[in-house]
Amino acid sequence: MMSEKSETANSRRSGWVPRFIRLTKRRSHPTKGLIEPQPYCGLLRCSCGMMITAENKIKRQKCGTEHHYVYYRCSRKSKTVKCVEPAVRSELLDRQLSELLGGFALPLALADKMREMAEMDERTEKMATGTKIDGLREQTTHLTAKLQRLLDSFLDGVVEREVYVAKKAEIMSKKKSLEEKISDFTLGQIDWVEPLKNWLDKAVSICKIAKSDDQNAKKSLLLEIFGLNLALRDKNITAPPCQNPISPSFNLWFSLRENLKKYRAERGEIAKSLILEP
Ligand SMILES: [Zn+2]
């Protein structure tokens, strides 16, 4: 026989259990208009300023065949404020984004040339720093010898104690400042070539990615280049034309695109400024 307590629990359960099952069932069958995470969510803004989200749509033909489409649209659309921007098919959006990304695709031959130039600059830089450090080390050795001579003179009684102490302090101070300079030069040799090479690899990878179906890779690159500055207006992507001062890597991407434009137009040599710019 069921106690009063368990009966209450049972009736309570009868309320939420079916509701839970209904919800689970609904979740396991994504159908009409249910928003699902799609690769290009979180990349674009609508012209009204809200983020763009995705929506699945199913079109059924009379014969019963179903066609699944992904549409990207303003996230405000379902809320009280009405946005006039139309939804755009995933394929159309992907085509536009791929084309935009393609502007930053660095041909391998050019990347190799730039790598070579960077290595040459690195060698020149290291040689110049090496020469400076060698010069400073020579001066330090000279001061050490001077210090030894001073000590000898003092021990031989040629030099007074007071003179010896004052002169020794002077030499030691010079020696210390030289050692500090050597240390500064050594530490100042920042390795900028490796980060540049990694960046070049990424720019080369765009050639393949822009042509591929890998929407996640495209999104990641577009976010790095444009941040959240890409907008959607009347089914068309609008991109900022120039540099964003907030992100330093941004400058390099835009500089690359400008140089690629010139390169493609002239079919000449790529400007050296491309790798020398910060
Ligand atoms: Zn909108």
- pLDDT tens across 126-152, in order? 899 999 999 999 999 999 999 999 999
Residue type, 47: S
Strands (E), the chain: 44-46, 52-60, 66-74, 88-89, 230-233, 236-238
Whether the pLDDT of residue 278 is over 70: the answer is: no
**Sheet architecture: strand order including 52-60:** 52-60, 66-74, 88-89
Query: Are 273 and 263 in contact, with CB atoms under 8 Å apart?
Result: no
**For the stretch 16-50, what's the b/e string if a residue is b when 16 or more beta carbons lie within 10 angstroms of its beta carbon?**
eeeeeeeeeeeeeeeeeeeeeebbbbebbbbebeb
- pLDDT tens across 14-45, in order? 554 555 445 444 444 444 444 557 999 999 99
Whether the pLDDT of residue 212 is over 50: the answer is: yes
Distance 102 CA to ligand 1 centre (A): 27
Question: Greater confidence, 54 or 187?
Answer: 54
- pLDDT tens across 158-185, in order? 999 999 999 999 999 999 999 999 998 8
Question: Greater confidence, 56 or 2?
Answer: 56
Distance 101 CA to ligand 1 centre (A): 24
Dihedral angle, C-alpha 65, 68, 73, 79, nearest 10 °: 70
Distance 52 CA to ligand 1 centre (A): 8
Reported as a pLDDT band with limits 50, 70 and 90, residue 194 is: confident
Which of 246, 252, 257 has its CA nearest to residue 276?
252
Distance 66 CA to ligand 1 centre (A): 29
Of 121-125, 168-172, 234-238, where does mean pLDDT reach its minimum?
121-125
Query: Are 52 and 44 in contact, with CB atoms under 8 Å apart?
Result: yes
pTM of the model: 0.65
- Mean pLDDT, to the nearest integer, of 48-76? 89
pLDDT of residue 188: 76
Distance 230 CA to ligand 1 centre (A): 13
Reported as a pLDDT band with limits 50, 70 and 90, residue 199 is: very high
**CB under 8 Å to 256, separation ≥6 — which residues?**
104, 106, 203, 274
